[in-house]
Amino acid sequence: MIYRFFQVTDEDGIAAAMLSLARLAAEEPAPASTQRSTYGAIASALIDAYLCRHEEMVAPTPLLSGSDALELGIPRGPAIGAALAHLREAQAAGEVASVAAARELLMELAQAIDPGSQG
């Protein structure tokens, strides 16, 4: 969720989170405390991710390249970009943390693209 949010908003996401909190604080009548808590937690998580864990959650360093994707069976063309985008999102979500896990994910994607290929 955080990765996708910042893929769309980039650094403007910080301003959006803060404006959302300011709008919530200015509402009359005041929203329920659970709503304020929920918005506060979301805004806090977004701001923390962007400022403190940027490389981990917002813009992870790619574990594999397009050449690696080709070697693992991803066909040339848009499929490589899509596979690498999927990999970066999996990295940001904490689902892939090593080159070996990244290779495994791309091999699974390659087989999903071409079910007839068996590695």
> 78-92 and 2-9 are packed helices; what angle lies between their axes, rounded to 10 degrees?
120
| Whole-number average pLDDT of the chain | 90
- Per the structure, the complete domain to which residue 32 belongs is given by 2-58
> Within a domain: residue 105?
yes
Could you report the per-residue pLDDT of 1-10, keeping only the tens digit for each?
899 999 999 9
Predicted model pTM: 0.76
Asked if 84 and 66 count as a contact pair (C-beta separation under 8 A), the reply is yes
Judge if 44 and 74 occupy the same domain.
no
> Within a domain: residue 86?
yes
> 2-9 and 33-52 are packed helices; what angle lies between their axes, rounded to 10 degrees?
70
Q: How many domains does the chain have?
A: 2
Asked if 24 and 66 count as a contact pair (C-beta separation under 8 A), the reply is no
Could you report the per-residue pLDDT of 47-92, keeping only the tens digit for each?
999 999 999 999 999 999 999 999 999 999 999 999 999 999 999 9
The whole-angstrom separation of Cα 40 and Cα 4 is 19
> Within a domain: residue 119?
no
